[in-house]
Amino acid sequence: MLFRVKVDAETLDPSTRTFQAGGSTNDAAPEDVRRIAADLEAGAPARFYRGGQPHGRVLAARATPGGIWLKIRITAREPDIWKLVESGAVNTVEIQILPRGVDVFLKSVAATYPSLA
């Protein structure tokens, strides 16, 4: 299972290097979304690419009526990653459900988000 949610540019906070993202969970069962949110909130690392080192952490996550919401902090050791988020080059958070836990990836996706429009 994989979800892509849109970074909310209005929530970028350079002083804490945090941002929020949210969107649809593609009709996943509410109990699955709650479990995924709990796994995310347990401190899932955020990576820029698969197999890469963590560039940040999920600080908070919750199921919403239409999907999922999360807040991510980029580490101070990764100013270049924060610049990509700030510039809008990173515009998507990809959440991949694993047999145990979740992976979170920061992405640049040229896509439309009709459920967020």
- pLDDT tens string 28-38: 889 989 999 99
In a domain? residue 30: yes
Q: How far is CA 75 from CA 16, 82, 113, in A?
A: 9, 8, 27
116 in a structural domain: no
Both structure tokens of 113: 């988000």
- Total structural domains within the chain: 1
Residue 21 lies in a domain: yes
Q: Does 42 fall in a domain?
A: yes
Please check whether residue 37 lies inside any domain of the structure: yes
Domain that holds residue 24: 2-111
Tell me what pLDDT residue 110 has: 67
Instruction: Establish if 31 belongs to a structural domain.
Output: yes
Distance from C-alpha of 45 to C-alpha of 56, rounded to nearest angstrom: 6
Is 62 within the bounds of a domain?
A: yes
Task: For residue 94, give every residue at least 6 positions away whose Cβ sits within 8 Å of its Cβ, in sequence order, or none.
Answer: 2, 3, 4, 104, 105, 106, 107
**What mean pLDDT do residues 36-44 have?**
89
pTM for this entry: 0.86
Query: Is residue 117 in some structural domain?
Result: no
Task: Give the confidence band of 1 by pLDDT, cuts at 50, 70, 90.
Answer: confident
User: Which of 60, 65, 58, 61 shows the shortest CA–CA distance to 28?
Assistant: 65
